[in-house]
Amino acid sequence: MNMKSYLIGISVTGAIAFMPFSVLADWKEGWTGDVRYKYVVSSDAGGTDTVTGDNNEFVAFNGDAVDGDSGLGFAIGKKIDNIGVSLAYERMGVTYDLTGSVQADGDVDLGSKVDFDIDTWMLEVDYTIVINDSFSGNLLAGIGQSTFDFSANSAAVVRANGSIVNVGDTSDNTETTIRLGAGVGYKLSDRATLLTMLQYTDYGTADLKIANGAATTGVDVETTELSVRVKFNF
C-alpha cells in the first residue's frame, strides 16, 4: 500500500468513525409531529364509463359528491429552517352521492349513495413564512397513495332502469394522490402551533366493481378541504 492510499484509507476510516456522532447531533433537533382534522368544503365530482357499450353506466355526475365528509390523521417529520418534510397518515369516511347522475342512455339516477373509506399515506413538504412572533404563513405540497376501502361499507347501487351493482370488497383499489395547500399558523407556545389550511386534494379514482371483480364505473374524488392541525416541535 502506497502512502497516498494509506492516507485516503485513514481519512475514510476517520470520517466513518465520526459520522454517526455528527449525524446523530443534527437529527436530534428539528423533529415535528402533528394531529389533524380535515373537512370537505367542496368537491369536483366526475366519473369514467369503464364498460364500453353498456348504456347503463354513469357518464355525468352531480356536483356535490362528497361535500361535508371529514377525516382524521397524524404525521411525523423533520424541519430544517423554514422547510419541513412530513410523512402523514389520514383516514376519511366518504358518502359518494350518485343522486342526479346521468347514465349513458340518458336516464337519471334517483337515489344511490355509496359509502367507502379513504386511507392515505402522504409525503408532505411545507414552507413557513414568518410574519411576526405569533403568526406565520404556510405553503404545502404533497404526494402519496390512497386506498379506497369498501370492505366495511358494502352497498347496492340501484340504477334508474332497476338494475343493481353490488359494491363491496372487490372494489378496493389504490391510487396516486396529490395535494396543494396554503394557510396560516398561530404559535400556541414554544413547542406547539395551530395551523389552519385550505387544501386541494386529488385522491384519484375509486373503482366500483360488480361481485366478480369487473370494474363498471370509476368515480373521481377531488376535494377542497379545510384542515386544522396542531403541530408540535420536539
**Is 14 a domain residue?**
no
Instruction: Indicate whether 199 belongs to any domain.
Output: yes
> Average per-residue pLDDT in the chain?
76
Give CA 96 to chain center in angstroms. 17
Per-residue pLDDT at 34 = 97
Has residue 1 been placed in a domain?
Answer: no
Helix (H) or strand (E) holding 93: strand 83-97
Minimum mean pLDDT range among 23-27, 200-204, 224-228? 23-27
pLDDT, residue 114, reads 73
Is 114 a domain residue?
Answer: yes
Give the DSSP letter of residue 104. Answer: T
Q: Is residue 13 part of a domain?
A: no
Is pLDDT at 110 greater than 70 in this prediction? no
What range defines the domain where residue 123 resides? 31-233
Task: Determine the Cα–Cα distance for residues 153 and 217; give it in Å rounded to an integer.
Answer: 17
Q: Which three cell numbers stand for residue 113?
A: 349513495
CATH number at residue 185: 2.40.160.20
Predicted pLDDT of residue 185:
97
> Does residue 6 form part of some domain?
no
DSSP, collapsed to helix, strand or coil, labels residue 4 as: helix
Number of domains in the chain: 1
Q: Express each pLDDT in 126-137 by its tens digit.
A: 999 999 999 999
Backbone angles phi, psi at 191, to 5 degrees: -110, -10
What pLDDT does 63 receive?
Answer: 44
Does residue 124 surpass a pLDDT of 60?
yes
The residue that leads in pLDDT, 168 or 125, is: 125
Domain presence at residue 154? yes
pLDDT in tens, 74-98: 999 999 889 999 999 999 988 777 6
Asked if residue 83 belongs to a domain, the reply is: yes
